[in-house]
Amino acid sequence: MPKRSAIVEYDDRWIINPLRHCACTGIDLEAGAAVLRFESGFVLRTSAGAELSARSVSGGAADRHPLDFWSREDAARNLSSAVVSPVFFKKGSLRLGFANGWNVFVSPSKPDVPAELWHEERLVWSRAGLVDEVPFPVVQIDRWTGEEITAPPWPERPAELDLGSSDDING
């Protein structure tokens, strides 16, 4: 099992374990911008277009609303517990699940909503992915076995290798 201080990488997402169990200590909603501050120096910078929902994770859910749907006080109350599921997707979206059942989303269907996760003035993640020099170790996990990958990944197939269609299933 990866260390609590590591970022766990899967094929399609990163789990930012150092953000897990951090409580939201403040939220600023001004002029369309949203800044969520967490314990341990984490800050999520996004816009009021990020969504907040109680327990619903489906994109079209009726109770999933932009952050500015709620007053600052209501949003702060809804996010007043610890993060239990800090998931940042490689397609540029995110889902933060809180212990009280509320979730923050930045949807892949809304590319105009900015999102950046910072830790102590250092960028960790943006909608383009993890930064090159992440302030935490990154551990790759095999999606089938759940085991840590310790060998380097296989290289990609060279683009100049045009194998086209073949009846050979090993091709």
Rounded average pLDDT over 46-74: 82
User: Which range has highest mean pLDDT (9-13, 25-29, 67-71)?
Assistant: 9-13
- Statement: residue 47 has pLDDT above 90: yes
Q: How sure is the predictor about 62, in pLDDT bands with cuts at 50, 70 and 90?
A: low
What six digits make up the tokens of 148? 């840590």
Provide mean pLDDT across the span 118-131.
95
How many separate domains does the chain show?
Answer: 1
Q: What is the mean pLDDT of residues 19-23?
A: 95
Long-range contacts of 132-137 (CB under 8 A, 24+ apart): 134/7, 136/5, 136/6, 136/7, 136/16, 136/17, 136/18, 137/3, 137/5, 137/6, 137/7
Q: pLDDT band for position 85 (50/70/90)?
A: very high
Residue 151 lies in a domain: no
Whether 73 is in a domain gets the answer yes
- What CATH number does the domain containing 55 carry? 3.20.190
The residue-averaged pLDDT of 2-16 equals 86
Query: For residue 134, is pLDDT > 80?
Result: yes
Nearest Cα neighbor of 67 from 20, 31, 39 is 31
As a whole number of angstroms, the distance between CA 61 and CA 5 comes to 33
Confidence check: pLDDT of 2 > 60 = no
CA dist., res. 151 & res. 69, Å (int) = 47
pLDDT at 1: 46
Tell me: pLDDT of 106 over 90: yes
Q: Is residue 77 in some structural domain?
A: yes
In a domain, 21, yes or no: yes
| 170: in domain | no
- Asked whether residue 123 is assigned to any structural domain, the reply reads yes
Per-residue pLDDT at 102: 93
The pLDDT assigned to 31 comes to 80
Residue 152 lies in a domain: no
Residue 158 lies in a domain: no
- The range of the structural domain enclosing residue 33 comes to 7-140
